[in-house]
Amino acid sequence: MTTAQTAQPTEGTPHIYTAIRNVMDKVRGVPKAGEFIMGKGPNAKVDYKFQRYDDMAAAIGSAFRDEGVMIQAKVLDVTVDSWDKSSERGLQRWCRVIIRKAFIFTSLVDGSTLEIEACGEGSDNSDKTTNKAETGAIKNAFKQAFVLATGEEDPDEVRPDDTGRPAERVLNDPWREAERAVVQAAQESRQWPSEAVGMATKVQGGILQCVSTGDLDKLLNWAAYHKLLQVPVDGGVPLGSRLIAAKATLPVGPPTGALAAATGTREP
């Protein structure tokens, strides 16, 4: 086992580079101690783990104080979009913020600086969207600048079911829910009420009215809320499979209103 030695500044070298080198030696990684819990009660489970900002700030902030480094930030670009999403409490307005920021590491010894850029994204149905994006940006900046390891296996190496096969693109909820529903539908054989089949068929017809992925997201959210993703539609294919296939054919973008105009309502 080797022990890193604190680098000493050499004549003519800006102090910030020596300080960053020493911070990288002191902070080699931050474990994924945060857990995102899906569901409530006895059925709750850990959906994924993540590196918490507080853990990063505690480790890197301590090294910054030792080395005499401060961090400043400036916003370079912000993208905002919003959409309606059905929930148990009715239709809710969600917002997504994507922010690109420059982070400037400044030496308090000689004033030398080092600047990097990083992006962050956040979605919320309350007032925390920008905060989530801001936190994501600084976490990405820390991981990028200091090459922070997690000490865990790379989740991109295998599928979520840990079969060891090559990784495939994992869709965000509720798209991930749609994938699970399709797999489950293939494993089960059941009779669906005619009302459910009719609703699923109506959703399938709505696919043709979607002109962006945002439109399709609204359609999927409605279908997931009403538990229609496993219901077979034209040709016996699960509705979830139809929605997943449709996403690859549409341009990425927020809801356009075309779906609501075609159906005469905010829902299918």
pLDDT of residue 119: 94
Would the pLDDT of 190 be above 90?
Answer: no
* Average pLDDT of the residues in 256-262: 68
What is the second-level CATH architecture of the domain 15-152? Answer: 2-Layer Sandwich (3.30)
The candidate with the shortest Cα–Cα distance to 53, out of 121, 132, 106, is 132
* Average pLDDT of the residues in 11-31: 88
Tell me how crowded residue 228 is: count the other CB atoms within 10 A of its CB.
Answer: 26
For 23-36, the pLDDT digits (tens) are 999 998 888 888 87
Would the pLDDT of 170 be above 70?
Answer: no
pLDDT of residue 17: 93
Tell me how crowded residue 167 is: count the other CB atoms within 10 A of its CB.
Answer: 12
For 114-151, the pLDDT digits (tens) are 999 999 999 988 888 999 999 999 999 998 888 887 66
- Distance CA(81)–CA(99), nearest Å, equals 12
Would the pLDDT of 109 be above 80?
Answer: yes
Domain coordinates in residue numbering, the chain:
15-152, 168-263
First vs last C-alpha separation in the chain:
62
Would the pLDDT of 259 be above 50?
Answer: yes
Burial class (CB in 10 A: 0-12, 13-18, 19+), 249: exposed
